[in-house]
Structure 1
């Protein structure tokens, strides 16, 4: 489908300080990307800009060659946005809304939608207003994963889900997506996404402070735990149980990327990108 390209983008709400300034980013297809940031960092706003619901003040933004704020039909049929709050019409059932929505998305897979509702244990005949917040969230996620859209934007998708539902979502996300789809997930619930992401972006102070593939992070960094401080640690964090740390990887065995520790390091100002084995130009 092409790329998402952002060049020197700036954005602010009226009368507010700049939320983003000079932001550059390129997203190619075929990845699940985690957008991590503190509350108020602009994660939700970023997704809404990609969806064409908010408009940049400065710079250029192109999604598959379309300008999102123009909201052209060709653009809209390739982007599915699931906000954190409920966006579904409460007077309809999930099945009834699916019948209305399906014609707008040429590659919508009705069988996948039905299977996902079963997997998520949601009654497709029940009116949405009678569903819990978590069940409403699962209906939205089922629609997104069934849409066939080239770009799927999910804002806090695991918020309101119980443990089993979070596990089901992670498994279905991996199994349903095709190579020409890109998913951007904005979240502060970092542990919910472990073993799901291909790429992580950390948004802080109006900039993307780190943009890296998880494979590159695992190749370049060693994540460990010790009872005492580690002298050559890039970043460390103490707790009652000991010290979690990040080292530059040399001869150590490869470890799983600790996303929470990575996030804490980046937002504390540690230049993690400078330790990566591959040049990170914010372009994939």
Structure 2
């Protein structure tokens, strides 16, 4: 559904952001794009949706070049940016001016999300708080019913109850014809939501695996002493949180934050476990 081949991109000639980056994203999945601030997450997402263009390489979304921004593609792509700039108009005015660009927009579903997130109904969009604006755009974006939904740091500005609502809502809208890409540096916000993990570090993809494959190859646990099979460890009070190899396919709950830290600090120890079928 989203195909990135040999992506090269830079804002200045002396400092490339991506060099020959390749990535394939398929329908029916929620991808978590994880990375530190400055890793290139927002730049990659903007390339995906055609807001900025590759220096070299190709990006196709549902079979069309994203850089061309054809109306036939744009009606099937919803992008929710991190930086929000909403006009000083009412919710109804926004719907009347923007919803017609999305032929599958579901106003009844939008209203249900509006109520779910407890967004003030009569407030001017421009006067909303950052968190309220974020919830409004998430509600609108999901109600577009586009095949591609791309979100850049969607949980920034949300309080803890709203983050829980966000995870519940997003899980309910997923289907086999849709792909959702969520970028964040707040790794724990995507727990129990995503089914595939993409980790960016130093402008490169250092890990791109399904949750199932990660669970099969790695074991996450808490121990009081380190053993030889430990690939990565973080010390806590009286114990260690560790990732170890998993030759016996034992079940364990994936700790996304621990995985992220391991992949960006001890990358070779982690990635070598995904090189064989």
RMSD: 1.5
Q: Is the 8 A contact 2:8 2:20 kept in 1?
A: yes
**Among 129, 132, 143, which residue is 1:132 paired with?**
129
Give TM-score scaled by structure 1 length: 0.93
Give the secondary-structure state (helix, strand or coil) at the position aligned to 1:19: strand
Give the secondary-structure state (helix, strand or coil) at the position aligned to 1:13: strand
Aligned match of 2:23? 25
What per-residue deviation string (whole Å, max 9, x for no partner) do you get for residues 103-130 of structure 1? 1011111111000010000023210122
Per-residue deviation, 1:206:
2.1
Unaligned runs of 5+ in 2: none
Unaligned runs of 5+ in 1: 280-284
Per-residue deviation, 1:242:
2.1
Aligned match of 2:113? 116
Aligned match of 2:82? 84
**Among 265, 268, 271, which residue is 1:268 paired with?**
265
Runs of 4+ more than 6 Å apart: none
Give the secondary-structure state (helix, strand or coil) at the position aligned to 1:247: strand
Tell me which moved more, 43-52 or 224-233: 224-233
2:88 is equivalent to residue 97 of structure 1: no
Question: Compared with structure 1, are the counterparts of its residues 16 and 121 closer, same or farther at alpha carbon in structure 2 (3 Å cutoff)?
Answer: farther
Separation in 1, partners of 2:180, 2:227 = 37
Question: Compared with structure 1, are the counterparts of its residues 99 and 40 closer, same or farther at alpha carbon in structure 2 (3 Å cutoff)?
Answer: same
Give the secondary-structure state (helix, strand or coil) at the position aligned to 2:38: coil
Q: Is the 8 A contact 2:232 2:266 kept in 1?
A: no
**Among 143, 146, 154, which residue is 1:146 paired with?**
143
Higher strand fraction: Structure 1 or Structure 2? Answer: 2
Separation in 1, partners of 2:212, 2:249 = 15
Per-residue deviation, 1:226:
1.3
Give the secondary-structure state (helix, strand or coil) at the position aligned to 1:230: coil
2:207 is equivalent to residue 210 of structure 1: yes
Give the secondary-structure state (helix, strand or coil) at the position aligned to 2:121: coil
Aligned match of 1:282? none
Aligned match of 1:197? 194
Give TM-score scaled by structure 2 length: 0.95
